[in-house]
Amino acid sequence: MVRTPFLPVALLSVLIAAAAAGCSSDDDAGASAPPDGVSCASVASASDESSLVSGLANVGAGGCVVLTGSVTSSAPIEVAGVALVGAKGSRPSLTVTSGTAGAITVTGGGSQLGNFVLTGAPGVGIAIAARDVKVFDVDVSGAAKAAIAVVPGTEGASSAALKDVVLEKNAYGLYVQGEGVEVTMTGGRVAENGGSSLSAGAGVVTTGGAKLTLDGVTVEKNEGTGVLLDGASTRAVIAASTISENRERGVWAQGLQGTLDAPALRIEETELSKNRIVGMGGIELKGIIIVGGSVKETVASPVPTNLAATELIGDGVGIFGGSTDFKIERTNFAANGRAAGVVDGSEVGIIIVGGKVEPGDSGLKFVVQNSKADVQIADADKSSPASPLGISAPKIQLPSAL
**Nearest by Cα to 184 from 164, 202, 209:** 164
Mean pLDDT of the region 108-137? 97
Task: Flag whether 291 is in a domain.
Answer: yes
Does residue 22 belong to any structural domain of this protein?
Answer: no
> Which residues on neighbouring strands pair with residue 289, listed in sequence order?
266, 327
What pLDDT is recorded for position 347?
75
Alpha-carbon distance values, 241 to 56, 144, 217, 219, 344 (Å):
36, 26, 5, 8, 27
Residue 325 lies in a domain: yes
Distance CA 122, CA 268 (A): 36
pLDDT over threshold 50, residue 11: no
Model confidence pLDDT, tens digit, residues 28-42? 456 889 999 999 999
Evaluate whether residue 67 is within a structural domain.
no
pLDDT band at residue 339, thresholds of 50, 70 and 90?
A: very high
Q: Minimal CA–CA distance to 73: which of 106, 104, 44, 28?
A: 104
Task: Provide the pLDDT for residue 14.
Answer: 39
- Report if residue 337 sits inside a domain: yes
- Is there a domain that residue 118 lies in? no
Q: Residue 274 — very low, low, confident or very high, per pLDDT cuts 50/70/90? A: very high
Q: Specify the pLDDT at position 374.
A: 78
What confidence category does residue 195 fall into, taking pLDDT thresholds of 50, 70 and 90? low
88, pLDDT greater than 60 = yes
Convert the pLDDT of each residue in 230-239 to its tens digit.
999 999 999 9
Question: Does residue 264 surpass a pLDDT of 50?
Answer: yes
* pLDDT in the model for residue 177: 97
Binned at pLDDT 50, 70 and 90, residue 224 comes out as very high
Percent of the chain exceeding pLDDT 70 equals 91
In a domain? residue 188:
no
Percent of the chain with pLDDT over 90: 85
Look at residue 6 in the predicted model and tell me its pLDDT.
43
pTM of structure: 0.92
Count of domains for the chain: 1
Query: What is the SS3 string spanning the chain?
Result: CCCCCCCCHHHHHHHHHHHHHHHHHHHHHHHCCCCCCCCCCCEEEECCHHHHHHHHHHCCCCCEEEECCCEEECCCEEEECCEEEECCCCCCEEEECCCCCCCEEEEECCCEEEEEEEECCCCCCEEECCCCEEEEEEEEECCCCEEEEECCECCECEEEEEECCEEECCCEEEEEECCCEEEEEECCEEECCCCCCCCCCCCEEEECCCEEEEECCEEECCCCCCEEEECCCCEEEEECCEEECCCCCCEEEECCECCCCCCCEEEECCEEECCEEEEEEEECCEEEEEECCEEECCECEEEECCCCCEEEEEEEEEEECCCEEEEEECCEEECCCCEEEEEECCCCCEEEECCCECCCCCCEEEEEECCCCCCECCHHHEECCCCCCCCCCCCCCCCCCC
Q: Hey, how many other C-beta atoms are within 10 angstroms of the C-beta on 78?
A: 18
pLDDT band at 15 (very low <50, low <70, confident <90, very high): very low
More confident residue, 347 or 163: 163
Range of the domain at 295: 280-392
Closest CA to 192 of 121, 228, 140, 128: 140
Mean pLDDT for the chain overall:
91
Amino acid 372: pLDDT: 77
Asked whether residue 358 is assigned to any structural domain, the reply reads yes
